[in-house]
Amino acid sequence: MSFSADDFAKALEQESYDFRPGQIVRGKVFEYESNGAYVDIGGKSPAFLPKSEAALTPVENLSEFLPKGEEREFAIVSQPNAEGQVKVSLRQLELLKVWDELSEKQRLNQSVEVRVNGVNKGGVTVDIGGLRGFIPRSHLLQRGDLQGLVGQKLSVSFLELDRDREKLVLSQRLVAQASRMEALQVGQLVEGEVVGIKPFGVFVDLDGVTALLHINQVSNKYVRALDELFHIGQGISAIAIDIDEYKGRISLSTKLLENYPGEILEQFDQLMAEAPARREKAGDKILPE
């Protein structure tokens, strides 16, 4: 029996091409248009690659970027139309790789570099490998002139990474804290600024890292009220007596700098001025056992 062209066409129509969004297929570009290219993916109709889906960044010359006849993997991004044609994307495949890379960096607790590209009420938006991320104002080191950050590169870590919701929330402050904590050592004399006073202790900012000077570590003598000795914005020197990088906690002590119990209550300014010399003179003897 002869197999005519009509028979071939009918057989082709009966062939199942179950293309669906999200599917990865291999194909070759065979024709270009001003707004995209046609790709042979083995279907009854060629797929169409919009120019905007060729890469994460704009492509000027599609024929140079994607030469005719070069086989590549494409992601299907639309249902077949009436003619069975689907739209495909290289950009979506690149985005999948970026999500995978960022997920791995989050798992390893690694920082990434981003570029600020916008400002909104709550913080700044950033580009991170072609994805849109967000840094809340509270997690920026510079919280005043946000517009001045546009165009700058920042080192950040992850607060939230949700691929399904395409949500990336980042923090510059946590990277600074981690870097600062790595540089600290138990027994080190640190300088900071009082940023909070509670009945149980004083919170001290150490270049972006918050440490606690507990009331029991202020003096070798009973301290009646911390707000009688400290005020917000006050400079202070203290000894780091405990550093917990995992929990992000730093404990301080000023009583280790006293020459006698209660000295800090009577001669605060003098004790602070002499703190570096006292720390150096005491050596390892100043450290708690």
Average pLDDT across each block of 10 residues of the chain; the chain has 289 residues. List them in order: 51 58 90 92 89 88 90 91 89 91 92 93 91 93 88 94 92 85 89 95 89 96 95 96 84 94 96 93 68
Residue 241 in contact with residue 251, Cβ under 8 Å? Answer: yes
- DSSP code of residue 218: T
Asked if 230 and 194 count as a contact pair (C-beta separation under 8 A), the reply is: yes
CB-side exposure of 263: number of CA atoms within 13 Å?
Answer: 14
Fold observed for domain 109-176? OB fold (Dihydrolipoamide Acetyltransferase, E2P) (2.40.50)
CATH 3.20.20.100, applies to 185-286 = no
Nearest to 154 by CA among 125, 112, 122: 112
Could you tell me which of 94, 89, 6, 8 has the C-alpha nearest to residue 41? Answer: 89
- DSSP at 45: S
For the chain, give every domain's residue range.
Answer: 14-89, 109-176, 185-286
pLDDT of 16 reads: 45
On the question of a common fold for 14-89 and 185-286, the answer reads yes
Q: Which fold has domain 14-89?
A: OB fold (Dihydrolipoamide Acetyltransferase, E2P) (2.40.50)
